[in-house]
Structure 1
Amino acid sequence: MRIAHRQSKYHQYEKLSRGLYLTEHRRCYNDIIKYCNKLVYKGVLDALRGDPKTIVPWGTMSFYEVFSPSQSLGGSRANSGEAKAIVQWLSDEREAILDYARQQDKKLIQLSDAEVLKKSVGIVTPFSKQAKVIEKLLKQQGIRGLTVGTVHKLQGDECLLVLFSSVYGENNKASGKFYDRGSNMLNVAVSRAKDSFVVFGHPDVFGVGAEGSPSGMLRRELRTFNAKELA
């Protein structure tokens, strides 16, 4: 992509890389794509979907507090407590997700619950080990077929609801965060969510630090739910 930008003879926006841009955005609710517009596109996107006409049960941009530590696993990282919290939340919210999805798209009424859930929910994490932990726990709950992985699995795709497992715990306060090494990871993760983007993470770690970092910018857009509300 960098090579293509350099080779393009067009430079549509001086504040962005060279090339022509599709600036009309219709996938995400405006509250969601607003973050990507600030982070990557310097405000040139034209958000055209608008705001929700009905209540999104989980909010359009939300943060659920999880206090468990992460574990280093062979060059990758996982957080079993956070994985359990995500799977428990998904299990608890399953019926609400099915109802909401079918209200938004009448074509889903004819599909099985498993197919509706598969089409409606994606789970993204910076670490492949965490994805495997989450997938294992989902299978134990009888939930199969969801897209679970790093951002590459969802690139070019979309879901009504995207859950982001940030992984880092209190034991990682002082370390640099993988999702802050560039803007691409969080930009892709957020922009896959049509109706709701939900971050699971430690409240003293995710987005804490440099305000101009991708996670710092995102944290300011999220409505926080505490552990009691999560339960």
Structure 2
Amino acid sequence: MGNQYFDLTGQVAVVTGASTGLGVQMAKALASQGANIVALARRQNLIDEVAKEISETYGVKAIGVACDITDTERVEAAVDTILKEMGRIDILVNNAGTGAVAPAEDITDEQFANEMNIDLFGSFKMARAVAKKAMIPANYGRIINIASMYGLVGNKIAPASPYHAAKGGVVNLTRALAAEWGDKGITVNAICPGYFETPLTKETLDSEYFQNYAKTMIPMARYGKEGELDTAAIFLSAPCSTYVNGVILPVDGGYTSM
């Protein structure tokens, strides 16, 4: 029997923003490899439904933990709850985020601050608590920050300067934490998704306007489909990916190659 390079059996993965969309998809992907799942988001009813579906489908333990990642006390309490319920945290996927779309000259201070508080500061708060309470003591961990291709480049289709700034911060936060925690058995990497289909984006992505844009701007001439982000998350979560640290991995159909 060959090596089970991507076997996550017995590990515990926390996925933030796991009430809808890409967070749910990645949680299911990790569960498919045997990981027990903690779906973390603000809406308890939604994450309970996600956890129930994952447990029934994949035969792993799955729970929902409600948390606002902008609230330090709630983040700390959530991590304590997870450790009490699950006993360990091996994988953290920092996926929770938001996106303010408006011309830069019309963006308010509140919009910019909110973007930073959720996408960047919230990711740091989760990483800090999980590393301190679980991963550093265990001398093991996999942290995956979900940034964006917009954290690497600008764009001409939808003005979103706070989102670009916050996701650019996530990219370099990833490098900083990778450098700081690498000798503690923790790898910290980032995935930079391109345009991906979710229930909230499908209508826009299927529009004639976007389809024409995709043919010009995306080498593969299409948006990402459900499941096409899964292998990146599994790869970076794998115990065998020991020497992969500080990597910024675009999954964008080649958008950032041009």
**Could you tell me the TM-score, scaled by structure 1's length?**
0.39
Compare relative contact order (CA 8 Å, sep 6+) and give the higher one, 1 or 2.
1
TM-score by length of 2: 0.36
